Amino acid sequence: MQNHIPERISNIRSWLKENQLDALIVPHEDEYLGEYLPAHNERLQWITGFTGSAGVAVITQEHASIFVDGRYTVQVTKQVPDSIFEYHHLIEEPFLDWIIDHLSPNSKVGFDPRLHRSIWVTHTQQTLSGKLTLCPLQDNPIDLLWQDRPVPFYSKMWFMDTKLSGQSSEDKRQAIAEVLRKKQAHCALLTQTDSICWLLNIRGQDISCLPVLLSYAIIYEDATVDFFIDPQRVINGFEQHVGPGVNICPPVTLEASLANLKGKQVLFDPATCNAWFSLTLQNAGVSTLHVVDPCMLPKAAKNASEVSGMQACHIRDGAAMAKFLSWLDQEVAQGNMHNEAALSDQLARFRQEDPTLLDFSFDTISAAGSNAAMCHYNHLNQITPGQLTPDSFYLVDSGGQYTDGTTDITRTVAIGTPSSLMKQQFTLVLKGHIALASARFPQGTSGHQLDALARQHLWAHGYDFDHGTGHGVGHCLNVHEGPQRISKAPNTVALLPGMVVSNEPGYYRAEQFGIRIENLELVVPVDTEGDFDVLGFESLTRCPIDLRAIDFSLLTDAEIQWLNTYHQKVWNDVSPLVSGMVREWLQQATQPVSQS
């Protein structure tokens, strides 16, 4: 791909000159602003060669730079030619600062408003005011120049049965309509694909790892919905499935539909809607009320049916993990030190034995030895995948999209005999994991108030990890679901019963090893004798934690009891699904540990 990049940059610069612009911003986003992009929307990759999930390129007549976060500082140097692009850290060296430094006053900076959040454009216009002019583009030059652009892939729609969703689309729409009426809004604009699929109890596979249909919607105060999707994609039985009041609208009618809202109060989420929507509404004279996507919170707080599905799919996913980890131990014992790609492929095969598996929930992180020190390492981006080595750690972070739920699990596995330092660090991470899993907290507590529980034991020794402790997870939807999260960054969203969050503290020693232990946790009410409502966590994940990597002298009796109780649950739930050598391995891996 690098062979084509000089010509592409040259063509972009010619386009800039023709359109009297001084720079172009190219983010790793598409018009849906989702975490995953379909191949035909990988514009940043086309212009730079970079395949990571987060980054921004800025191209001027004289310079070009690419900005990535700490996950990709090594990868970017291997994929993006330094003869054309300068490398910068996305957080430490913000690209807006770079633009200001490299352009003369009153320069014009082009951007595609479909690829930027409305809130970002508002902030950026304020930042650049009096310095540079931010110019929204009608047409994206990459789309004009990309001759061999992949054809968009559109999957088949399928219905999420009420037995799995726990609530009909009609009931969901009535509940959202009640929110609109309370806020005196005529309608709400929905642009998050997972919100739309949740609301209508439908799913698809338009994007790898995310079971959604690329679409937009407007829900009105009377609970009717305009659903903007190609009518040919709507399958038989749709009206009966969703109930009356859902109107199928061709996507080409979207702009006119927005203009028809003139004089109405429209609920609009500037953090999730792209700037094209805000500009279109503004130009049409539509009044907007900036409020969080009204589907986000009820989608995050799973009902009883959704919880049941999440519990069931985690048990089946645990059986696939047990098969894989048992196989891995046998292979290592026989001296078969596989590479990261072979390991990832084998895990995929075990998951694919489950007929309810739709897709993986993200690209598997299969990291051997020192590669695991890069917390979001991807072996697919390496010329030669890493290989298992004796007396090391192997980290595997993976998950599945099942018809009844979504999984995400990380296990760090001892290959041979880990050093005392490795066992110490693994145990400090485990202690943090247990502390968070055991937490009890009053209703109204948000995730950032719990974050220190997972870090306290690492902090006590002068260590930390540079990523969030937990993210929300959807029900057969986005594996990274908001609005809840557990991290250092302040977050005012209170944890609610039915929410699912990950619990994934870690430790990463550069050039040596990486450790992460991740379970998904369900927020549940806890019975107490006190005066206020208390919540806690119930672990959904069913997979052993490697006993060989633990320094038990560092664990308290209470922590050992937690480990034994957790492993008993794993055995009880997973053992009926496996047999033979896998069952024998599972029994050994979940054996109780003696307390001091």
Residue 238 to residues 201, 228, 231, 235, 416: CA-CA distances in angstroms? 10, 14, 11, 6, 55
Domain boundary among 123, 145, 167: 145
Domain count, the chain: 3
Cα separation, 435 vs 429, whole angstroms: 10
Task: State residue 207 phi and psi, 5-degree precision.
Answer: -125, 135
* 150 is a domain residue: no
> From CA 143, how far away is CA 13, in angstroms rounded?
15
Please tell me the predicted confidence (pLDDT) of residue 35: 86
**pLDDT tens-digit profile of 255-314?**
999 999 999 999 999 999 999 999 999 999 999 999 999 999 999 999 999 999 999 999
Write the single-letter amino acid at 231: P
pLDDT exceeds 60 at position 1? no
227 inside domain: yes
Whether residues 207 and 311 share a domain: the answer is no
Quick one: pLDDT band at residue 53, thresholds 50, 70, 90? confident
241 and 131 within one domain = no
Domain containing 585 — which CATH number?
3.90.230.10
In this structure, is residue 102 part of a structural domain?
A: yes
Q: With respect to residue 128, please indicate whether it lies within any of the assigned structural domains.
A: yes
The pLDDT, as a whole number, for residue 202 is 98
Q: Do residue 355 and residue 242 come from a single domain?
A: no
What's the domain range around 259?
A: 158-299
Cβ within 8 Å of residue 420, ≥6 positions away:
551
Model pLDDT for residues 565-575, shown as the tens digit of each residue: 999 999 999 99
Find the mean pLDDT for residues 538-560. 98
Q: Which of 123-132, 517-526, 529-538 is most confident?
A: 517-526
Q: Render pLDDT for 401-450 as a digit per residue (tens, 0 to 9).
A: 999 999 999 999 999 999 999 999 999 999 999 999 999 999 999 999 99
* Domain stop point among 114, 145, 176: 145
CATH number of the CATH domain containing 132: 3.40.350.10
Are 501 and 455 found together in one domain? Answer: yes
Rounded to an integer, the average pLDDT of 532-558 is: 97
343: tokens are: 């390991």
CA distance 185 to 294: 12
> Looking at residue 465, what DSSP letter applies?
-
Domain boundary, last residue among 112, 145, 178: 145
C-alpha to C-alpha distance for 65 and 501, rounded to whole angstroms: 36
- 294 and 305: one domain? no
Confidence check: pLDDT of 558 > 90: yes
Helix (H) or strand (E) holding 392: strand 392-398
